[in-house]
A = this chain, B = another copy of it.
């Protein structure tokens, strides 16, 4: 069973989209990040086979999409609308970057619908459309070429929304299906290696310099597992025969 999630409260609104493929790409981008509410304001062609193809296994998002004839309808009962813009405008609203905007949207989505509004592929949102929104958002990009594809822009925002959603529960940085070696096992390995290096005259015990220290530093970074220590000692035994 799905618990209700603040992501369910985030509407992706596409205004006057020209290329149906971008609507499909948007649906896939949304579903991969756990978003589901798609609003289409006067799409040029929808439904459309190209949208279905690009949506891949996210066609359910397309089937449930709300097709409306004005931005007002898409924003109905939302408490915050954020307008995607490629650059800062003259009479601009407060502009947040993608990460800040995602966090801001999520705060409000915990209780009420919010909307993220994308304009035409060619020209973006009109001044009138932006004036219906409370904030603008821009995606940091290459100043020499900042023209993101529409579905790619949705993908980044959907990703930042998911990151904002999961920030409370950070992922472990390493899978621990494997058991880490104990301090004692690792010390026995170091002693074994040191003996082998002395026996083979790689290490002069009268002039050890900092060789063991360098080796310890290297293996410390790995956080050796039990089985790995066994492999390393097995190699040493075999080579010493």
Q: How many whole Å from A118's CB to the nearest CB in chain B?
A: 15
Number of copies of this kind of chain in the complex: 2
A29 within 8 A of B: yes
Using C-beta atoms within 8 Å of the partner chain, give the interface range for chain A.
35 or more
By a CB distance below 8 angstroms, the chain B residues around A202 are 234-235, 237-239
Interface flags, A124-149, vs B, CB<8A=1, else 0: 00000000000000011110111111
Interface flags, A214-241, vs B, CB<8A=1, else 0: 1100110111110110010011111111
A173 to B159, CA, bound (A): 21
Q: How many whole Å from A228's CB to the nearest CB in chain B?
A: 5
B224 A218 Cβ-Cβ under 8 A:
yes
Q: How many whole Å from A126's CB to the nearest CB in chain B?
A: 19
By a CB distance below 8 angstroms, the chain B residues around A223 are 221
Interface flags, A73-113, vs B, CB<8A=1, else 0: 00000000000000010101011111110000000000000
